Structure 1
Amino acid sequence: MRDSKNVEPVGAPDTQPKASPYMRLPDRQFWSKAVQPADFKSVENIYTKKFSIEGLDTATAGSCFAQHVAKNLKLNGYTVLDLEPGLPSVAGMVAKRFGYDTYSARYGNIYTTRRLRQLAEEAAGLMKPDADDLVWSRANRYWDALRPSVEPKGLASPQEVLLQRADHVSRVRRLLERAKLFVFTFGLTEAWMSRRSGLVYAQAPGTPIEGRLVGSYDESAHAFVNFRVQDVYDDFVAFRKIAHSFNPEMKFLVTVSPVPLAVSAVDTHVLAATVRSKAVLRAAAAQLYEDFADVDYFPSFELLSTPFLGAARFEEDKREVQPRAVAMVMRHFFSEHPPLDGKRLRTASQEDVVCEEALLKAFSK
């Protein structure tokens, strides 16, 4: 620790009276200048990049909103890795249905940082899920509990699930070795896990996929968890450490999904549960941004979820983001990271975004 007696005050010594520290701040830091006269389209300087991402092989993961980021990066000339592609004959919605062409590996949506951490630990050989926790079954069909949506009809045997899992994890390992930028969208704080091992699942056991219940909920075997700020922060720091063990040069770009919860397992109003969840995720993202030079934050959540920039930007269900709003958010992003091919900015179609959490709407009927 430095001797406080020898610490010089910041700035040159000045015996003259000083103006307020707020006197020379830029316009972007004053509400009356940066927000009050602005709207969603015209608000400026809400995002200033911490580092350039040009030329960085990019991996993407996270909640369903992260798919928008991945699609737009690809369309504008950035290299987005896909180390678990489908066959050339499988494309479009068929590929999406089986988890292909969505992220940089076929892991489906990763809603929590705990799930991201555990996947990295698995890829690094630091943990191996027990088959009893990993394989869900129902009516003689079997699913990988960590990514059940990628095989909506299930597989024929537990052995087939384990073989697919081993191949998937090997591809995630290669992804961590190659990626120079990892883009992750924080989605949820609520999750379900194995009481025995603490393994966090991709979704609640017994949730329907394409009308078929996948797995079965057992109160003695499954537990609900609602992560706090420190949990989210610690999990991402642990993920970052593992990622750097594969590739010390890797940088990280994080966002918070603006999409509200479809349903909450907490005994409170779903609106209150949504605000709690997003506040936790946003606070953790802020800490990561402030603590690490290789972590940047893009404010998609602020652009879409605050009432200060004009009319609502969600569809009638108040969950799905309007396509034109997503396009405008991407314009803010690419104002700092311009298209690489020298062409005008292009925005991707907002169709075919897969969001497993929306499957929980089935229980509202």
Structure 2
Amino acid sequence: MSGSEALKVSMGNPSRGWQGTKSSARTRLLANEFFPIQHKPKFLLDKSQKFFTVGSCFAREIEYKLAPLGVPLLLRGRGLQRRYFRSWPHGDDAPGADAIYSGVFNKYTTASIEHEFKRTILRERYPQEGLIEIEDELWFDPHSSGLKNLPLEQALANRAIIDSAMQLVREADIVVMTLGQTEGWLDSQTGIAMNTQPGPAAVRRFKDRFVFIDHSYRETVEQVDRTIKLIRQECNPRMRFIVTVSPVPFNSTFRAQDVVVAHQATKSMLRAVAEELFRSYEFVDYFPSYEMVINTGRNLAWLDDQLHVDGEMVRHIMGTFYQQYYPEAEAVSVAPAA
């Protein structure tokens, strides 16, 4: 870009300055409200386009807020019954044992996202689908999130349901990919990039079978890049992607660092990965939900646990998303989480 072009871009950008104007960063940061952000999408959307969301738990929050707006969400209403989960995130007064929860699709690392699509799209196969017998006749699913250890027959049945739902990516027009963390685990016996590790007791029992990996920047870029290329090649050559970074920290780190330092290192790396992909492909956009959260006061952005984003914060984020990507749609109020 020439110098004159750069000046023209700068002068046409109302949010270019950190201070000095009504829309400056300083003004917005001191307003004690949900942080508003300027974003110019690479492409616009319409309600005929089907969404497939993948990534950390923040991807589920996106689903909860977009569903009432009539956006076609391929994983909405899918998942597994409450009875198969270790805990239920919706509270004891939520629907009963037959209620369906889609949190089983949460993918916390870019390695586990890539691995899941290779399994479901390329039909990679492992003995017992990669399930691990953690205790006598109780099997752990390393691909999923939040499930109890179950008898083999039920664990395989659940795995088949999840695999069938993941195949719906073939029908998608838009994939929203939320990057969550870089710390992950590998099953050295099968080569599976595990979505979660099976717990301290199992790690001790199986000795060196489970390996902790903190993926580098280059590894992470390559994992996401391969995943995007795989989906476009095998599912839809016109597929477009919206990448976000989850602001949600991990509960604890396995590195010899303060958890706050480890958290910031992970998010900084993922944000840089998202930026590189955004700059590399015209069909990859970045939506700055991460910036909206971290630049909002903690009393507004976070629940009391300082771990999960407040529902009203997510409502603000998805309202912004809807207004920016669907400019011809009617003005709406994004509904509270289901």
- TM-score range relative to shorter protein: 0.7 to 0.9
Select the residue among 9, 27, 41 that pairs with 1:49.
41
| Residue 261 of structure 1: how far off its partner (Å) | 1.9
User: Is 1:186 equivalent to 2:176 in the alignment?
Assistant: no
| Residue 98 of structure 1: how far off its partner (Å) | 8.2
For residues 5 and 118 of structure 2, the distance between their equivalents in structure 1, rounded to whole angstroms, comes to: 52
Q: Which has the higher helix share?
A: 2
Rate the CA distance shift 1:74–1:83 in 2: closer, same or farther, 3 A.
closer
1:96-128 deviation per Cα after TM superposition (whole angstroms, max 9, x unaligned):
98893426xxx4310111111111111233632
Match of 2:56 in 1: 63
Select the residue among 26, 39, 42 that pairs with 2:13.
26
| Residue 41 of structure 1: how far off its partner (Å) | 4.2
Rate the CA distance shift 1:319–1:45 in 2: closer, same or farther, 3 A.
closer
3-state SS of 2:118 partner: helix
Select the residue among 226, 232, 235 that pairs with 2:220.
232
Match of 2:25 in 1: 35
For residues 281 and 35 of structure 2, the distance between their equivalents in structure 1, rounded to whole angstroms, comes to: 27
Residue ranges of structure 1 left out of the alignment (5+ in a row): 1-8, 12-17, 208-212, 352-365
Normalising to structure 2: TM-score of the pair? 0.82
User: Residue type matched to 2:177 in 1?
Assistant: F
Match of 1:347 in 2: 335
Alignment check: 8 A CA contact 1:65 1:257 kept: yes
3-state SS of 2:186 partner: strand
For residues 98 and 179 of structure 2, the distance between their equivalents in structure 1, rounded to whole angstroms, comes to: 22
| Residue 170 of structure 1: how far off its partner (Å) | 3.8
1:210-261 deviation per Cα after TM superposition (whole angstroms, max 9, x unaligned):
xxx7786533111000112211211111111111121112111111111122
For residues 183 and 197 of structure 1, the distance between their equivalents in structure 2, rounded to whole angstroms, comes to: 29
Match of 2:170 in 1: 177
For residues 58 and 181 of structure 1, the distance between their equivalents in structure 2, rounded to whole angstroms, comes to: 5
3-state SS of 2:39 partner: coil
For residues 13 and 74 of structure 2, the distance between their equivalents in structure 1, rounded to whole angstroms, comes to: 38
For residues 97 and 56 of structure 1, the distance between their equivalents in structure 2, rounded to whole angstroms, comes to: 33
Rate the CA distance shift 1:176–1:325 in 2: closer, same or farther, 3 A.
closer
Select the residue among 107, 111, 114 that pairs with 1:110.
107
For residues 161 and 83 of structure 1, the distance between their equivalents in structure 2, rounded to whole angstroms, comes to: 22
Q: Which structure has the bigger radius of gyration? A: 1
Rate the CA distance shift 1:99–1:148 in 2: closer, same or farther, 3 A.
farther
1:292-328 deviation per Cα after TM superposition (whole angstroms, max 9, x unaligned):
111111111111113xx54542233321222222222
User: Is 1:155 equivalent to 2:142 in the alignment?
Assistant: no
Match of 2:265 in 1: 276
For residues 238 and 255 of structure 1, the distance between their equivalents in structure 2, rounded to whole angstroms, comes to: 17
Match of 1:73 in 2: 66
1:326-355 deviation per Cα after TM superposition (whole angstroms, max 9, x unaligned):
222222222203498735222222x6xxxx
Rate the CA distance shift 1:98–1:142 in 2: closer, same or farther, 3 A.
farther
For residues 99 and 139 of structure 2, the distance between their equivalents in structure 1, rounded to whole angstroms, comes to: 16
Rate the CA distance shift 1:260–1:163 in 2: closer, same or farther, 3 A.
closer
Alignment check: 8 A CA contact 1:78 1:340 kept: no
Match of 1:168 in 2: 162
Match of 2:251 in 1: 262
Normalising to structure 1: TM-score of the pair? 0.77
Rate the CA distance shift 1:206–1:31 in 2: closer, same or farther, 3 A.
same
For residues 257 and 58 of structure 2, the distance between their equivalents in structure 1, rounded to whole angstroms, comes to: 25
Rate the CA distance shift 1:24–1:82 in 2: closer, same or farther, 3 A.
closer
User: Residue type matched to 1:224 in 2?
Assistant: F
User: Is 1:316 equivalent to 2:304 in the alignment?
Assistant: yes
Rate the CA distance shift 1:56–1:165 in 2: closer, same or farther, 3 A.
same
* Number of positions where the alignment pairs a residue of Structure 1 with one of Structure 2: 322
| Residue 266 of structure 1: how far off its partner (Å) | 0.3
Give the fraction of aligned pairs with identical amino acids, expressed as a percent. Answer: 22
For residues 163 and 206 of structure 2, the distance between their equivalents in structure 1, rounded to whole angstroms, comes to: 27
| Residue 63 of structure 1: how far off its partner (Å) | 0.9
User: Residue type matched to 1:100 in 2?
Assistant: I
Residue ranges of structure 2 left out of the alignment (5+ in a row): 84-89
User: Residue type matched to 1:231 in 2?
Assistant: E
User: Residue type matched to 2:135 in 1?
Assistant: R
For residues 217 and 179 of structure 1, the distance between their equivalents in structure 2, rounded to whole angstroms, comes to: 41
3-state SS of 1:328 partner: helix
3-state SS of 2:64 partner: helix
